[in-house]
């Protein structure tokens, strides 16, 4: 599956706009999960494909990411 750089940028912008990354710092895992599920429900197919690509990269690289 090929996802363009634009899709990855679109997903990063989506996360930033929803402030998921910033608001998860001081929240419980349950709160993070609830916010994440709400965000997933609002995603477009393009944003979801970007998320899948990002997760695939993170899983593949594992501990290599610095």
CA atoms within 13 A on the CB side of 56: 10
Extents of the domains making up the chain? 5-64
Mean pLDDT within 38-59: 85
pTM given for the model: 0.46
Question: Which residues make Cβ contacts (< 8 Å) with residue 7, sequence separation at least 6?
Answer: 46, 47, 49, 50, 53
The answer on pLDDT for 5 being more than 70 is no
- Average pLDDT of the residues in 18-45: 76
The pLDDT assigned to 23 comes to 60
């Amino acid at each position: 599956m090929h996802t363009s750089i634009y899709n990855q940028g679109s997903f990063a912008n989506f996360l930033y706009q929803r402030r998921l990354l910033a608001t998860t710092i001081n929240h419980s895992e349950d709160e993070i999960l609830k916010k994440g599920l709400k965000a997933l429900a609002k995603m477009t197919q393009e944003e979801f494909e970007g998320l899948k690509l990002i997760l695939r990269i993170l899983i593949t690289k594992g501990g290599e990411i610095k």
